[in-house]
Chain A
Amino acid sequence: DAGVIQSPRHEVTEMGQEVTLRCKPISGHNSLFWYRQTMMRGLELLIYFNNNVPIDDSGMPEDRFSAKMPNASFSTLKIQPSEPRDSAVYFCASSPGQAGGYTFGSGTRLTVV
């Protein structure tokens, strides 16, 4: 298995632009999580899905953030419009269950200038 695949690895965008981050979870994993990592706030859970259904989006910072999981093999995290304070590393993780051992992707480093 190739693990959790995230794209792009790096994204540099201008303030106000729309940004879409992509994730392909491990086949057979029915839970998917989006985390944001910064020096100041550490690893923050943004949203998680179970069987493609959003379960908890209480960590999504603002309405500018949205996430979808149209099928079991693909998820997106969209920021529109982006702001400099959104600069962070965004991780996707998947798990065979809601709690337990997650497998993380390599992350997308987002820089908003």
Chain B
Amino acid sequence: QQQVKQSPQSLIVQKGGISIINCAYENTAFDYFPWYQQFPGKGPALLIAIRPDVSEKKEGRFTISFNKSAKQFSLHIMDSQPGDSATYFCAASYDKVIFGPGTSLSVIP
């Protein structure tokens, strides 16, 4: 019940396209849903986060969509750029953060 599922495992998108990563959870006690971005050799960095009382949050090219009834949430990266190539982790927390397995995104020119 502590698990956070994430798909796809890897994703290749052309420059300018939309990258979509999906996540799902079971534990209804989770009350905070962050997304982290990790570049090789670096620690994960907080990208954007949402609480379950909101259905969508947008920051620049990054948007989280949240479906509380389905216990699903997703990250959309609009106008994807080669610099967005990284591993993305969805996560969920109520007292500690549980991470999904990650999605390796490659944005090709």
> Chain A interface (Cβ within 8 Å of chain B)?
4, 33, 42-43, 45, 48, 55-56, 91, 93, 98-107
Q: Which residues of B contact A101 (CB under 8 A)?
A: 34, 46, 49
Cα A57 to Cα B45 in complex, Å, equals 23
Count of inter-chain pairs, beta carbons less than 8 A: 51
Q: Is the CB–CB distance between A99 and B46 below 8 Å?
A: no
Q: Would you list which residues of chain B between 29 and 61 have a CB under 8 Å from chain A? A: 31-32, 34, 41-46, 49
Complex A-B, nearest 10 residue pairs according to Cβ-Cβ distance, in ascending order: A104-B43, A99-B93, A43-B99, A101-B46, A42-B101, A98-B95, A104-B44, A91-B43, A99-B32, A107-B43
Q: Which residues of B contact A107 (CB under 8 A)?
A: 42-43
Q: Is the CB–CB distance between A98 and B46 below 8 Å?
A: no
Further pairs besides A100-B32, A101-B34: 13, Cβ < 8 Å: A4-B43, A33-B97, A48-B96, A98-B95, A98-B96, A99-B31, A99-B93, A99-B95, A100-B49, A101-B49, A102-B46, A104-B43, A106-B41
